Structure 1
Amino acid sequence: MDRSRDLPSWPHADLSRFCRVGTNDWHVQETGRGPILLCLHGSGASTHSWRDLLPLWARDWRVVAIDLPGQGFTRSTTLRRCGLDQMTEDIARLCATEGWAPAAIVGHSAGAAIALSLSSHLPGPPAVVGINAALGRFEGVASWAFPLLARLLALNPLTSTIFTLGGPNPARARRLIEGTGSRLDAEGLGYYARLIGDRQHVEATLQMMTQWQIDPLIARLPQIESPTLLIAAEGDLAVPPATSDISARRIPGAEVVRLADLGHLAHEEAPDRVAELVTDFLRSVILQPDRTRSDCR
């Protein structure tokens, strides 16, 4: 995407700003007042994934949504730090630089894994909500075939160029989204079509897949101290809902809520339902909401 051209037509562009920290020129959206709620999108998405949730949560929170390195409108000078641990470190550094002390982190899919990893790097620790959290290993032949395929694609300098030929492709976006069990309206599909038509975004997403190592985090789940809620959509074809059940048994005190009739992008399909679940949970576990209040920059 041409950032200067496309940002004005992006959801909540009026809330956007950029800050240079480390190797990233971070795209940040902020709204509301109160304790900080940090939102982390999943692989291949952007802040647009929270477009309907931001105004709902802004009633009670200072909501901060960021684009992951190289994805959306965040630009990086290197794509060698797209793994789980590296992104955790870079987001922790961003929080420290900006003076953010999140009371809670909400993450979708891979963003939920980052949220759990990040929780041990922040004071509090913050509460964590994972929506269709990508906390499982590939099974069987996929355990070697999928990561190998991602590596081969990422190592080929022509892959992102070939994938994005022709620019935004709504039909391709629809196939990708429906393959996860979700159904989005034309507007929602349009945002994903624009993302998958952007070579830099696709390249960063491929590098994230290539560098992703979930096993160390899975091993650390019993040490997670954050109050944790995992929301699992029963129609998710990308991350089986059983993954949340298994993970919750490993995280002390974690809760699981199942959502029927929704897919991997449940928070985009039914933002009101997800917003209410998250708000009720956070109100129940954050007993001193003023502990993370900070001034807006």
Structure 2
Amino acid sequence: MQLSDMPSDWPLRHASQLIEREGIRWHVQIIGSGPPVLLLHGTGASTHSMADLAMALSDHYTCVLVDLPGHGLTTALPEREHLLPAMAMAVQSLCESLQTEPRFIIGHSAGAAVAIRMCLDTRASPAALLSINGALLPFGAFIEPIMLKTARFLSRSDSITGFLARRGTGTADVRRALRDTGAEISEPMIARYSFLISQQSHIEGALRMMGGWELGQLAKDLPTLRTPIHLIGCDKDHIVPALRAHRVKRLIPSASAITLHNAGHLVHEAAPERVFAEFMRLSDRFN
């Protein structure tokens, strides 16, 4: 997929640029002015997921949004079993090529895991992290290996990913999937996710990411995280229950956590002003 393939009304399309770094073509959007904030979306999403939050932040910060490898316009990393550490290293390498040292990192769902892994494994040293419904703990000793193997198998099947992409041209399944996350959904949200999952490369990238998302080691390493982190959970999140944010808080010495009520997994899209308020309280503590 190329920039010309993006819908004309794609969020922050005017700020899009493609950057080559170590064999990966990255899609990056940069807006605003001030200290840099890196915004990382979750599995199956793209920069669009963080656009409204970035616009709210852009009066105070330079916002750097990226499509994670295999998502949107960014090409995939080579397939590997343990993808999370590799993705964290790749994002850090991108930041270095941009000559950007994020003052803060905001991550949603799997993006929060990438942010933490960056702090654990690379030279990234933000003042603090904000996790939005972070997918940081294993889903269970029995179910997780099955999920990983299934996702890896599906990602390698052109017939299956092609079928899913053709299915993505309709909106009924997207509407149902978004509603199942506990999110308040809008027609623009449906249109954007419908566009993404109509792209076979995006489906392959999302499945490949899911297939390499072994969280057992991350859970073991969480107590060694020294970067302050604020964890947002949402009471209507059916993907990552809010209880998990508070469980993670107990594992990390420098963590705080909050549950947002009447909010779902995509709270940063449905109600970006609520996440903006949480971030500003966090930034006031560490600026």
TM-score normalized with structure 1 length = 0.91
Aligned match of 1:14: 14
Q: CA deviation at 1:81?
A: 8.5
Seen in structure 2, the aligned counterparts of structure 1 residues 77 and 203 have a Cα distance that, compared at 3 Å, is same
CA distance in 2, matches of 1:65, 1:9: 17
Identity %: 33
Q: Is the 8 A contact 2:136 2:219 kept in 1?
A: yes
Q: Distance in 1 between matches of 2:230 and 2:192?
A: 28
Structure 1: gaps spanning 5 or more residues: 287-297
Secondary structure at the residue paired with 1:276? helix
Aligned-residue CA RMSD (Å): 1.7
Contact preservation (8 Å) 1:32, 1:59: yes
Equivalent pairs, count: 286
2:168–2:174 contact (8 Å) kept in structure 1: no
Alpha-carbon separation, structure 1, partners of 2:144 and 2:63? 36
Bigger shift: residues 20-29 or 145-154: 145-154
5 Å-filtered alignment, 1:59-138, equals: 59-76=59-76, 78-80=78-80, 83-120=83-120, 121-138=122-139
| Alignment partner of 1:223 is 2:234 | no
Matched, 1:35 2:35: yes
1:248 aligns with 2:270: no
Partner secondary structure for residue 4 of structure 1: helix
Contact 2:133–2:233 (Cα < 8 Å) also in 1: yes
Worse-superposed segment, 123-132 or 96-105: 123-132
Q: 2:174 matched to 1:170?
A: no
Higher mean alpha-carbon deviation, 154-163 vs 191-200, is at 154-163
Aligned to 2:56, what secondary structure does the other structure show? helix
Question: Equivalent residue for 2:269?
Answer: 268
The residue identity in structure 2 corresponding to 1:233 is C
Shift of residue 282, structure 1, vs aligned partner: 1.3
Match of 1:239 in 2: 240
The residue type equivalent to 2:69 in the other structure is P
